A and B are shown apart, each in its own frame.
Chain A
Amino acid sequence: MSYKTFFIYLLIMAGITYLIRMVPLVLIKKRIKNRFLLSFLHYIPYTVLSVMTIPAIFYSTSSIVSAVFGFVAAIFLAYKEKSLLKLAAISCVVVFVVEFVLSNI
């Protein structure tokens, strides 16, 4: 691929991605008062994140078993309200250990 072609591709993808993010953030300056919209926007972060997490988390490591262990650890730590960093790190360690055990049985 020539660099010219590459930069046209790059411009299209970066431009569209940026516009999607930028337009609402720049244009919406007022506080929304409508109760439906407020409620909708209140729920959106949690629904988006849970939709992105389940079921994708179960396929995020090299085996579903290790992912399930990592997921359970994450739920437990989140319930205990541990910090993001601690939770992410411990989940990774759990996955690593479970995969190590699985591969050595």
Chain B
Amino acid sequence: MNGKGKFLKGIKDGVPICLGYLSVAFAFGIFSVESGLGILQTLLVSMTNVTSAGQLAAVPIMVSGGTLIELAVAQLVINLRYALMSVSLSQKLGKSVRLLDRFIISFVNTDEVFAVASGQDGLLQRNYLYGLILTPYIGWSAGTLLGAVAGNVLPVAVISALGIAIYGMFVAIVIPPVKKNLKTAYCVLLAIVLSCAFKYVPFLNNIPGGFAIIICAAVASGVFAVFAPIEIEEVSCDEL
């Protein structure tokens, strides 16, 4: 596949993310304007951050005149998982991805972009990655603007139904490798048990969501990396 073909494949793979983002960003747009930010301010927050949970946490802090420290710590805790994802993604970058590309691509390394990128066979090329971040970025920005401007136009039932789109995508990415590899299946199972514990068990459910995600994912992955490490061949195949 040539450069243009890879770019178009990236665009295409980004479409489901874009559609999911339209709905999530739409909800954010409504929320942000209702909270008291202006339409332009709301759009700027989305276009400079591209992170759903982080933005949702930030808006109330901003409109209530919270301290900068509070804002900074909230963003750090909620978004620290992206550091793990960037470490993981760094291992999948092909030679065509140059330093400048890394600065740009990391800006839109969202959960969903990372998920789709991780699901690709072999190393990732720069054109593919640019396509893959373009459509979601447009969806995120456009969805925010639409939500901020026309919050009450879409019927509630439609917004509700769109809410599951992002999670449906996650399922689509996790299930195929789980089906093929028993170790991955058990590892995911452990992560889910931990995740439910952090949601429902008293005391544990006081831990902020951003931390909980990191703890659950790191513990499950760490335990299995120690007791059920992957075969090195699986990795070298990956690198072809």
Contacts and interface: CB of A to CB of B under 8 A. Distances in A.
Interface of A: 1, 6, 8-10, 12-14, 16-18, 20-26, 28-29, 31-32, 35-57, 60-62, 66-67, 70-71, 74-75, 77-79, 81-85, 87-89, 91-93, 95-96, 99-100, 103
B239 interface: yes
Overall SS of chain A's interface: helix
B122 interface: no
A22 B68 contact: no
A103 to B, nearest CB: 8
Please list the 3 inter-chain residue pairs (A to B) with the smallest Cβ-Cβ separation, ordered nearest first.
A78-B175, A39-B225, A91-B168
B86 A38 contact: no
Interface stretch (B3-11, B139-147, B183-191): B183-191
24 contacts: A1-B62, A6-B37, A9-B62, A16-B75, A17-B49, A17-B54, A21-B79, A21-B83, A26-B99, A38-B91, A44-B85, A44-B218, A46-B187, A49-B111, A50-B188, A51-B217, A55-B195, A60-B164, A66-B161, A79-B179, A84-B116, A88-B20, A92-B162, A95-B163
Nearest to B75: A16
Interface of B: 13, 15-17, 19-20, 36-37, 41, 44-45, 48-51, 54-55, 58, 61-63, 65, 68, 71-72, 75-76, 79-91, 93, 99, 102-103, 105-107, 109, 111, 114-116, 118-119, 156-158, 160-179, 184, 187-188, 190-192, 194-196, 199-200, 212-213, 216-218, 220-222, 224-226, 228-230, 232, 234-235, 239
Overall SS of chain B's interface: helix
